Structure 1
Amino acid sequence: MDFYAHQERARAASRRLTALFVLSLIVVVAAVNGAAALGWMLLGGGTRWPPYFFATNAMVTLLIVFGGAWVEWQRLRGGGAALAERLGARPIDESLPLHRRLRDVAEEVSIGAGAPVPSLHVLDEGSINALAAGERPGLAAVIVTRGALERLQRAELQGVIAHEVGHIVSGDAELNTRLTAALYGLCSLRLAGLGLLGFALKRESGPLARFGAPRVVAFVAGLVLSGVGALGVLAAQVLKAGISRQREFLADALAVQITRDRDGLGCALRRIAGETVAPLRSDYAGLVSHFLLARPAGLRDWFDTHPPLAERIARLYGRRMAPIVSVAATDAPATATQAAQTKHVYGPEAAEAAGGSFAADTIPFVRQALPEATASAPASAAPDGRAGSATAPQPGTGRDGAASIAAAALITQIRSASLGFETAGRWLVALVAGQTSGEPDAALRASLDWLVSPGGASLRVPLLELLLARVRRWSSGRRRELLDRCRRAVEADGHVHSAEWIYYTLARHRLSPNASIGARQRRAPSTRQAQSRALAALFAMAAAVGEASARATRDALADAAAMLEIPPPASTPDEVGTTELALALDTLLGLAPLDKPLLLKVLFTLARTPGDPNYDAFVRAVAAAIDCPVPRGAGQQIGARRGEPVAAG
């Protein structure tokens, strides 16, 4: 991804939406004043306007609009989970196989994308759709409809989740959340008018029934506000239309880059194209239609926030592709029918896999990292021209091969519902501090020994992220206790090594409560000079981990300071303590969201050996600390072996 171009597009989108919002406010205020003036001329008996008549109308209108937007923004600041609740979605139930499959897919995609695993919710809708929301990556949520879980194959669901994670990585989810608050503010006039009409028309037998005048006033005011509020609703539609359609193309491209498979998302979009996308039944759905994977049936032309599905599919495949007629939504997955469809779309091998295990457990980035992998079998062609999946590489023989097989067993146990607190604590201490002596099972201890050795370095971060994703759903008290165990293990010898700091920092920021973000920002200085010192401390640590030369460090530091518009530090410190480095990361947390990927991009250039798993783990820990996904195309793909080429950004 070209972050300079993306940054400029994002800023242009923000300016465009701000201008449209201001223009919408001007039109709404003018309409309110026009309606009030007309009402005064009809009912005022020819008297002059009261003092500050128009100013009062404007102030009341702005108070309602901005008040509604502020209230909704406060509701949504709880993260994407708050929006999911407003929409009527429920958190996943891990006792259900389809929900477990969604959880596994989301973990794989998020780890591969270098982003925190979002909270997952299911919306009880029969159509295929999904959306992502959240003020920042650490608070993001992905909402998937029941129809998507029931009718999409695993690869297709993976493509859909990767598309939504792409929105989170590129900052679209944050923009959409802010836009929803603005839309709610513009619709507040109509909501207020409908509330007054409801009061005026409500039949009551109590004392209020004797007061006819207030009801008449409420009825007239409600009628006026509802009429003018309809203009606010129209302005909200115009504001949504101001969103660039290019963001959907970008999210599609990111999904393919994350999964390295165009057919997953492509076939999901073809299934959606083969049916009518029904509008969501929630009353809140109108405010989030711009979030959705596919546009519901309804508005067209310049009100569209999504490009046509046919155009998105053509961009993925390089040619036009026919829609796929999907099975109807049911309460249980139609496995046999899906297998038949898969045979037509993907080929007989994929159909056999789909029919055999609906929740097949595969982790592509783990398979790629297994050492001594045997050569894969040639890919077979599917009937529609798609290359069939090659035979998955199998671990070889020898000590590393046996250890990698044990690592696969470790993955299975991490994902099992029976993962206990003590077991998770032992494995977390092993992966963070490299201390495996606490594991009583000899085979698992050998697997952990291999993971913390140079031979298993490329798998250490993915498995740690997988374990952290599972533990993250536990209570805050349990998470704090696990972090305390890791901290005591790291500090046991009185010295914190760089590798221990890296993995502990990653674990701490994945498991820390979200409320700690505000406390960290208040504790850290936010001046440009403080950011300059923080940059110097960070690059000193990066040079030590990446074994970069003094000249390369100096040049990279100057480049980062120039891009971030921070005064360039005179030099980097010779040594950096863990406390100083933690304060530096807290300071850099205050950078603008679009500046953080640029910083990480520059950090990647300091690796003496491109794709070094230890240095990639360092950058991932920094990304977690400053609440930013790892940029796509930078450094090494997680789980790839050293020297393996990286997919183009």
Structure 2
Amino acid sequence: MDFFSSQDAAKRNTARLIAFFVLAVISMVVLTNLLVMLALGFLNPQTLAGQQINWPVFFAVGCGVLAIVTLGSSYKVMQLSGGGDKIADQLGGELIAPDNGDVKKQRLLNIVEEMAIASGVPVPPVYLIPGNAINAFAAGHTYSDAVIGVSRGALEKLTRDELQGVIGHEFSHILNGDMRLNIRLMGVLHGILVIGLIGYYLLRFTPRSRNSKGSGGFVLLGLGLVVIGYGGTFFGNLIKAAVNRQREYLADSAAVQFTRNPDGIGGALIRIGSIKEGSVLNTPGIAEISHSLFSQGFTSSFTAFFATHPPLGKRIKRILPSWDGQFKPLVSPDDSTAHKPAPASKERLDKSRIGMMAAGAAVMSSTKVVGQIGNPTANHVSHARKLIEAIPEDLKKSIHSSYGAQAVIYALLLDQNVAERKNQLQYLSTAVDPATYDEVMKQTPQTAALGAAYRLPLVDLALPTLRQLSVNQYKKFKTNLLALIAADNKLHVFEWTLQKIVLHHLAGVFENNSGTTEKEPNIKRAKEAGTILLSMFINNLQQKGIDKEALRKEVLQEIQWIDGERLTGEKFSLGDLDAALNDLIGLKPRYKEMLLSACATVVLADKHVSTLETELLRAVSSGLNCPMPILLS
């Protein structure tokens, strides 16, 4: 699947959604105006054809309808502005803590960690949703604030392969931008529904006795608003269902590619059909987020019309063409092997093997490198599992605590120069509590022994715990992080890379700045920012035996809309790069693809890919909200 095509499709769906919203609001303005004028006596139904419209009243009512719908939508979007955690809380979700002692919960967390590191995204927090049915969801604005929710039924009844298939399906929604569209759908439908709710309360509280003068007009108004509001919601739900069904087929296909095991997700769907509860969750508000679920989450009289997911049989047949139509689980949940962890790797990743993989990545083309963005495979998952296995158990356990997660970031930033490191440690000794400082001292030799290839996986593992900090704790952590970087009055490439990845993802949680309001830059600024980005790659990476002028010409063949003269003739700082990425985040997906392909061309020019180069490529890709997995040939 093409990540950038999926992003384009998501933007087109959003545009269609906005068009639907505008048409719905215009229709509601016209209908509500007619209703108000009839109810309040501004229009006489017997002489309607020859009457002049009272335009001041029409304008006032129209503004009122617009205000109500806009406020209703804004309220719902603001209610969900906290990201996926808000939706999980709304469904009564329980955050699953690492090292909880429950084998099945730990198995689920292991699967999520493997897939996140394989995808090049922060590990999302995982919530357990009440209910014996089998279901799951992914929610959030971007992958920075995403969460995974899994029902207790799925946790208890699925084998590891089946659970991995379900999680792979949800990661597809995270990577392809489906979550943001889901939240916008919820906002739009709520805004339209508010009109119906106003009508409902008018009907409920309007006196109906014969002595109540003028009550008939308010009853008519209330009844009309109910019809308009709930009618709009009815058709909105039809559109929501139609938009979602096709995305579910795509996510199923992505899960098969992710796991290379069609029996996994296929078996999970078969198991849903084999149990009494199916996938229906009896949780308040489930219908509102039904389009975010793995399978149909509610039933109603109009399920055939409002079904947000294709029929189970059709989904299974696409994944397992030889399926016989019987809902008989492929593997018994009581099988002694069903809930065992994934088999241990025959070999752990050592530094020489990582070097071989980097060399393999070096012979790839820039097109293949960019083609991996948002498109991880089973090989990436296997590689991620080996990376996690190689991390010492006490270090993994420490990362799951708030002081340990902060400590690992601090440890990664400690300078190799003895004098500079002494200054950094002296700062930390007064800036953090003793437990965190002791953890930094303990983790420093462990992180150094693992090597550079483990730096970003450690960051990915730490991010879900860092997301649980309080606002004050986050501010203090950010202050300390920036102070450690500034200790030597220099900004090194890895320091910039680490702070870009960490703060970019945490800003979406603590500063409401995850790129949810991406604004497309004008042509002039896009050209300037793109030039700065590529100039930094050409001039700052150590490309042995490469003619920079020849490399500049090669880059210009891939991307013509940047300033070729400034690519090699002007020096830019990492601070300039930071500002450039902030401007480029709003670019259309295809232009982002061009930029990242050109960056990959520079990295691959000397047929050698260093860890620092892959980290820089990952940071830039992450800054553009394009998740880049581990580079594998």
1:425-574 alignment runs, 5 A limit: 425-433=406-414, 447-452=446-451, 457-512=452-507, 514=509, 516=511, 518=513, 526-543=521-538, 544-545=540-541, 547=543, 550=548, 553-555=551-553, 557-558=555-556, 561-562=559-560, 570-572=566-568, 574=570
* 1:191 Cα offset (Å): 1.5
2:245 aligns to what?
245
Which secondary structure does the structure 1 equivalent of 2:127 belong to? strand
1:291 aligns to what?
292
Which secondary structure does the structure 2 equivalent of 1:605 belong to? helix
Q: What code does the residue aligned with 1:312 have?
A: R
Residue 145, structure 1, aligned to residue 151, structure 2: yes
Q: Taking structure 1 as reference, are residues 4 and 162 closer, same or farther at Cα in structure 2, changes over 3 Å only?
A: closer
Name the Cα RMSD after superposition: 4.5
CA distance in 1, matches of 2:508, 2:224: 46
Residue 176, structure 1, aligned to residue 182, structure 2: yes
Q: Taking structure 1 as reference, are residues 433 and 59 closer, same or farther at Cα in structure 2, changes over 3 Å only?
A: same
* 1:414 Cα offset (Å): 3.6
Which secondary structure does the structure 2 equivalent of 1:287 belong to? coil
CA contact (8 A) 1:190 1:225 kept: yes
CA distance in 1, matches of 2:20, 2:456: 44
CA contact (8 A) 2:407 2:440 kept: no
1:120-139 alignment runs, 5 A limit: 120-139=126-145
1:641 aligns to what?
none
CA distance in 1, matches of 2:485, 2:24: 56
CA contact (8 A) 1:21 1:239 kept: no
Output one character per residue of 1:267-312: Cα deviation in whole Å (capped at 9) or x when no partner.
2222223345454444533332222211244445565433333333
1:221-370 alignment runs, 5 A limit: 221-243=221-243, 245-275=245-275, 277=278, 279-296=280-297, 297-298=299-300, 299=302, 303-320=306-323, 340-341=332-333, 343=335, 351-352=336-337, 354=339, 360=341
CA distance in 2, matches of 1:302, 1:556: 53
Q: What code does the residue aligned with 1:427 have?
A: V
Output one character per residue of 1:59-88: Cα deviation in whole Å (capped at 9) or x when no partner.
544443333223222322332223334444
Q: Taking structure 1 as reference, are residues 491 and 201 closer, same or farther at Cα in structure 2, changes over 3 Å only?
A: same
Residue number among 167, 170, 181 corresponding to 1:164 in the alignment: 170
CA contact (8 A) 2:121 2:143 kept: yes
Q: Taking structure 1 as reference, are residues 210 and 144 closer, same or farther at Cα in structure 2, changes over 3 Å only?
A: farther
CA contact (8 A) 2:4 2:589 kept: no
Q: What code does the residue aligned with 2:599 have?
A: L
Which secondary structure does the structure 1 equivalent of 2:128 belong to? strand
TM-score normalised by length of structure 1 = 0.74
CA distance in 2, matches of 1:247, 1:220: 41
Q: Taking structure 1 as reference, are residues 533 and 107 closer, same or farther at Cα in structure 2, changes over 3 Å only?
A: same
Q: What code does the residue aligned with 2:168 have?
A: A
Residue number among 607, 621, 624 corresponding to 2:622 in the alignment: 624
1:21 aligns to what?
21
Structure 2 unaligned segments of length 5 or more: list them: 355-378, 426-437
Structure 1 unaligned segments of length 5 or more: list them: 203-208, 327-337, 344-350, 374-388, 396-400, 638-644
Which secondary structure does the structure 2 equivalent of 1:245 belong to? helix
Identical amino acids, percent of aligned pairs: 28
Q: Taking structure 1 as reference, are residues 532 and 199 closer, same or farther at Cα in structure 2, changes over 3 Å only?
A: same
Q: Taking structure 1 as reference, are residues 116 and 420 closer, same or farther at Cα in structure 2, changes over 3 Å only?
A: closer
Output one character per residue of 1:475-531: Cα deviation in whole Å (capped at 9) or x when no partner.
344344444444444444444432333234323334446454659999999543333
Of the structure 1 ranges 532-541 and 315-324, higher mean CA displacement relative to structure 2 is found in 315-324
Q: Taking structure 1 as reference, are residues 406 and 159 closer, same or farther at Cα in structure 2, changes over 3 Å only?
A: closer
CA distance in 2, matches of 1:245, 1:425: 41
Q: What code does the residue aligned with 1:295 have?
A: Q
Which secondary structure does the structure 2 equivalent of 1:539 belong to? helix
1:380 aligns to what?
none
CA contact (8 A) 1:139 1:514 kept: yes
Q: Taking structure 1 as reference, are residues 513 and 519 closer, same or farther at Cα in structure 2, changes over 3 Å only?
A: closer
2:368 aligns to what?
none
1:12-91 alignment runs, 5 A limit: 12-29=12-29, 31-32=31-32, 46=46, 51-52=54-55, 58-91=62-95
Which secondary structure does the structure 1 equivalent of 2:333 belong to? helix
CA contact (8 A) 2:125 2:464 kept: no
CA distance in 1, matches of 2:134, 2:625: 30
CA distance in 2, matches of 1:426, 1:241: 46
CA contact (8 A) 1:131 1:144 kept: yes
TM-score normalised by length of structure 2 = 0.75
Of the structure 1 ranges 34-43 and 489-498, higher mean CA displacement relative to structure 2 is found in 34-43
CA distance in 1, matches of 2:146, 2:465: 16
CA distance in 2, matches of 1:250, 1:551: 43
* 1:174 Cα offset (Å): 0.9
2:435 aligns to what?
none
Q: What code does the residue aligned with 2:13 have?
A: A
Q: What code does the residue aligned with 2:409 have?
A: L
2:122 aligns to what?
116
Q: What code does the residue aligned with 1:449 have?
A: A
Q: Taking structure 1 as reference, are residues 114 and 498 closer, same or farther at Cα in structure 2, changes over 3 Å only?
A: same
CA distance in 1, matches of 2:261, 2:609: 22
* 1:193 Cα offset (Å): 1.5
Q: What code does the residue aligned with 2:626 have?
A: C
Q: Taking structure 1 as reference, are residues 546 and 216 closer, same or farther at Cα in structure 2, changes over 3 Å only?
A: farther
* 1:236 Cα offset (Å): 1.2
CA distance in 1, matches of 2:183, 2:397: 36
Q: Which has the higher contact order (CA 8 A, sep 6+)?
A: 2
2:612 aligns to what?
614
